[in-house]
Amino acid sequence: MFSLKNHPFAVDAFFEKSIVLTFAVPKQELESLIPECLTLDTFNNQYAFIAIAMVQTKNLRPKGLPKFLGNDFFLIGYRIFVRYTNPNGKILRGLYIIKSETNKAKMQFLGNLFTQYKYTKTDIQETKSEEKTSIKSIKSDFKVILNNNLNNVELPIKSPFQSWKEARKFAGPLPFTFTYNEKTNEILIIQGVRKHWKPKPINVDYFHFSFLNTLHFKNIQLANAFVINNIPYSWKKGKIERWKK
C-alpha cells in the first residue's frame, strides 16, 4: 500500500559525526519490543543489543537535489539489532527503531511525514573541551560524557565482548532498517548505503538515558562505544514485502 510514510524516495546526507553507544541486554528482555516478523541479532545466543546513535547530520535531502536544499540537524536514535528472513530465505541484518529525537522542528515534521520513525523534538546541547565532549538534553533527560583521548581505549568493564574485534560486529552500520505494519502484515525495508565507515573506539566516562530506564531492563550493560566522522550516507527508496506468518 502506498503511503508517504513508506520512505517513498531515496535520500542523501552527510554525517559530520556519529557517536554510537551499544548496550547488551539478555535476549529475553528485548524480545517483547520487536514485531513478530523480526528476530533478535544476538551474541552467543545470550545477549541482544540496543544502540543509541547521536548523529550530526548535514544536507539531508531527496536524492538528486542540490546540497543547499538539504537540512542540518542533530539526531538521537534508539535502535535494536535485528534480523529479517525475506520470502526467498535470505537473512537481512539490520535495525528496528523504537525512538527518534531531533533538535529541529522542521526535521520532526518532515521525518514524520516521510518515515515511520516517530520523531519528537528535544533540546540538544553539546560542549567540548580538550579532554571531554558532553552531549545532553534537559527535556529528554540524558547526558553522555566522552573522553576525547582515542589512544588505549578499553572495552567497558562489564561488556560481554572479549575484544574490540568482537565488539565491532555490533557497531554498525547495519545495511537495513525495518518497520512493520501489523494491520497489513507488511514489512518496510530501507537499505542504507555508506562509504568509508571506520568506527573508532571511545571511552565513555559517564552516561544516563532516562528513556532506557522506562524500559525497565533488569540487566543492561554498556557493551561498546564508537565514533565515526565525515561519512557520506544515503538511503534507498523503501521496499515493501508482505510477511507470511
Q: Residues 17, 56: contact at Cβ < 8 Å?
A: yes
Answer CATH for 4-242 from 3.40.50.720, 3.40.50.620, 3.40.50.170, 2.40.400.10: 2.40.400.10
What is the per-residue pLDDT for 135? Answer: 97
Helix (H, G, I), strand (E, B) or coil at 114: helix
Q: Are strands 47-62 and 11-26 parallel, antiparallel or unpaired?
A: antiparallel
* pLDDT for 171: 80
Report the first-to-last Cα separation within the chain, whole angstroms.
Answer: 19
Task: Give the CB-side neighbour count of residue 3, counting CA atoms within 13 A.
Answer: 15
Strands 176-181 vs 203-209: parallel, antiparallel or unpaired? unpaired
Which cell numbers hold the place of 30? Answer: 528485548
Q: Could you give the count of Cα atoms lying within 13 Å of 6 in the half-sphere of its Cβ? A: 14
- Locate the DSSP E strands across 63-174: 71-85, 91-102, 119-121, 125-128, 132-137, 142-147
Res. 201: pLDDT tops 70: yes
Strand partners, 21: 52, 225
CB 207 within 8 A of CB 144: yes
Q: How far is CA 52 from CA 9, 98, 131, in A?
A: 25, 10, 22
HSE of 1, CA atoms in CB hemisphere, 13 A: 10
**CA torsion sign, 158 to 162 to 163 to 168?**
negative
What's the average model confidence in pLDDT over 135-139? 97
Grid cell at residue 94:
539490520
Q: Which residue has the cell 518496510?
A: 188
Q: Which amino acid is at 20?
A: V
Nearest-angstrom CA–CA distance, 161 and 95: 20
Where do the structural domains in the chain lie, given as residue ranges? 4-242
- Ramachandran category for residue 223: left, alpha or beta (phi over 0 → left; psi -120 to 50 → alpha): alpha
- Does the pLDDT value for residue 1 go beyond 70? no
With cell 524480545, the residue in question is: 31
Spatial distance between the Cα atoms of 34 and 18, rounded to a whole number of angstroms: 24
State the pTM of this model. 0.94
Q: What is the pLDDT of residue 243?
A: 86
Q: For 17-27, what is each residue's pLDDT tens digit?
A: 999 999 999 99
pLDDT(99) > 80: yes
Amino acid at 215: L
Task: Residue 180: count other Cβ atoms within 10 Å of its Cβ.
Answer: 18
Q: Is the pLDDT of residue 45 over 90?
A: yes
pLDDT at res. 14: 93
What average pLDDT does the chain have?
A: 92
